[in-house]
């Protein structure tokens, strides 16, 4: 007796193989899953996927059952005569043409409906966000608020966000698995995408990715998304729109009475709201997502290059750093609103860089240790990075390498940048 005559053995073997697989799927949280959508866009795609999966599984099971049945029932037997040969069976042929046609129609209707729904114009009062892809980082502009930032996207829960997507170089693709995407960023062509983070979401952080191969650091082109309450978003946007205010020495941070991560200190901002006599002289800076509430999956774990070193005993002087930044090569690529010389647009806008949680497009935490190494030699930190290795000097065709910053100068500049909350 061979294995095919032992259905109980077969059932047991199949269950043993399938059960652990099924249990693995329940084992842990998947922060980058698309099966846990938090927007109407995500749910539309997920619902369509469920339907397609149902029909796909149904067809697969029926076809495989028929196949196994026929293979077993009509297998070659030594004693049996040769089976009757049949040519043409009109009823059968019409049946197996009609059934797939009907299934295709059942799949096509919700598919076309979902396409129309997700391609429809966004509601008029939506938050406009311009997404610009760069090798290898993300520029986010909020034209309604006059904000330009990089690699960190703040979205108010419950309000539709309407993205216009373009690229300055090659194809990229905008993707936040739990919210929406993927949609391509194309040079000289504007793509659109809109979705509404669920109003019940509460403050939360999500991972965003580039989902279209775009060169050596494609996998290092990440971003963070923070879904926040409407008042927190307004607070964040008002502050991000303001010019960088830098005052040395930094004032002591006021007590965080609101408990929502408002920070006072060096980057105090006096232009976000008119001062009234009742308010303290040091205005709190705008909302930013509290670092202590960042989920583990949003914290970068990229290893540091082993041969890139920095004198950790150095203490940076922010005021000296501000002066050095304003006359060094930094200003050729970076804008700091309020610093007339710093108007470059090749690299990320650094006006409020101190308020961001990561650097290098989500690759490293934004702290003194990592930012110092980044400024010293970004290309060692991230393959293909366009950021010049400031600590190694800038190649000059006429005079050779020149203008290398010392570790002390970098420590000063980093102290300045981190003070730009």
List residues binding ligand CUA (CB under 6 A): 133, 136, 172, 210, 212-214, 218, 221
Backbone region of residue 249 per phi and psi (left: phi > 0; alpha: psi in -120 to 50; beta: other values)? beta
Residue 1, CA atoms < 13 Å, CB-side half-sphere? 5
State the nearest-atom distance from the C-beta of 217 to ligand CUA, in Å: 8
In contact, 413 and 339? CB cutoff 8 Å: no
69 or 213: CB nearest ligand CUA = 213
In contact, 325 and 331? CB cutoff 8 Å: yes
- Measured distance CA(355)–CA(236) in Å, rounded: 10
185 or 375: CB nearest ligand CUA = 185
Q: What are the backbone dihedrals phi and psi of residue 134, each rounded to the nearest 5 degrees, phi first?
A: -130, 155
354 or 362: CB nearest ligand CUA = 362
State the nearest-atom distance from the C-beta of 215 to ligand CUA, in Å: 7
Which of 116, 117, 138, 137 shows the shortest CA–CA distance to 129?
A: 138
State the nearest-atom distance from the C-beta of 259 to ligand CUA, in Å: 37
State the nearest-atom distance from the C-beta of 48 to ligand CUA, in Å: 25
CA distances from 258 to 226, 233, 255, 261, 357 (A): 18, 15, 9, 8, 20
State the nearest-atom distance from the C-beta of 218 to ligand CUA, in Å: 4
State the nearest-atom distance from the C-beta of 171 to ligand CUA, in Å: 8
218 or 352: CB nearest ligand CUA = 218
219 or 251: CB nearest ligand CUA = 219
Q: Which helix (H) or strand (E) holds 173?
A: strand 172-176
State the nearest-atom distance from the C-beta of 30 to ligand CUA, in Å: 21
221 or 237: CB nearest ligand CUA = 221
Q: Which helix (H) or strand (E) holds 41?
A: helix 40-73
184 or 412: CB nearest ligand CUA = 184
Which of 150, 149, 152, 168 shows the shortest CA–CA distance to 215?
A: 168
311 Cβ partners below 8 Å, 6+ apart?
407, 411
- Measured distance CA(327)–CA(36) in Å, rounded: 48
Q: Which two tokens stand for residue 7?
A: 């259905």
State the nearest-atom distance from the C-beta of 130 to ligand CUA, in Å: 16
211 or 359: CB nearest ligand CUA = 211
């Amino acid at each position: 007796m061979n294995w095919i005559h032992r259905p109980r053995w077969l059932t047991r073997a199949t269950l043993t193989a399938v059960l652990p697989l099924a249990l693995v799927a329940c084992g842990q949280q998947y922060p980058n899953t698309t099966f846990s959508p938090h927007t109407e866009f995500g749910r539309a795609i997920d619902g369509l996927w469920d339907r397609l999966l149902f029909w796909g599984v149904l067809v697969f099971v029926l076809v495989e059952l028929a196949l196994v049945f026929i293979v077993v029932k009509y297998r070659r037997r030594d004693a049996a005569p040769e089976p009757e040969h049949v040519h043409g069976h009109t009823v059968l042929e019409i049946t197996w043409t009609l059934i797939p046609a009907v299934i295709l129609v059942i799949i096509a209707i919700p598919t076309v409906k979902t396409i129309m729904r997700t391609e429809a114009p966004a509601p008029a009062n939506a938050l406009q966000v311009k997404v610009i892809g760069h090798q290898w980082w993300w520029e986010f502009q909020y034209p309604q608020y006059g904000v330009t930032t990089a690699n960190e996207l703040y979205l108010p829960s419950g309000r539709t966000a309407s993205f216009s997507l373009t690229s300055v170089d090659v194809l990229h693709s905008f993707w936040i698995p739990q919210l929406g995407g993927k949609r391509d960023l194309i040079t000289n062509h504007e793509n659109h995408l809109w979705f509404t983070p669920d109003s019940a979401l509460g403050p939360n952080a999500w991972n965003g990715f580039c989902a279209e191969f775009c060169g050596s650091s494609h996998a290092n082109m990440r971003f963070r998304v923070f879904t926040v309450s409407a008042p927190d978003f307004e607070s964040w946007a008002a502050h991000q729109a303001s010019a960088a205010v830098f005052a040395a020495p930094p004032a002591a941070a006021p007590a965080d009475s609101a408990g929502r991560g408002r920070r006072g200190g060096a980057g105090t901002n006096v232009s976000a709201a008119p001062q009234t006599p009742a308010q303290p002289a040091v205005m709190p800076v705008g909302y930013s997502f509290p670092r202590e509430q960042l989920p583990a999956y949003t914290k970068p774990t990229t290893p540091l290059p082993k041969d890139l070193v920095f004198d950790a005993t150095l203490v940076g002087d922010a005021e000296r750093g501000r002066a050095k930044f304003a006359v060094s090569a930094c200003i050729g690529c970076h804008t700091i609103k309020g610093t007339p010389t710093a108007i470059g647009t090749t690299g990320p806008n650094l006006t409020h860089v101190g308020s961001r949680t990561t650097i290098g497009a989500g690759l490293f935490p934004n702290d003194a240790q990592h930012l110092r190494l980044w400024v010293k030699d970004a290309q060692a930190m991230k393959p293909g990075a366009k950021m010049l290795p400031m600590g190694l000097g800038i190649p000059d065709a006429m005079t050779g390498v020149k203008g290398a910053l010392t570790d002390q100068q970098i420590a000063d500049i980093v102290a300045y940048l981190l003070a730009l909350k």
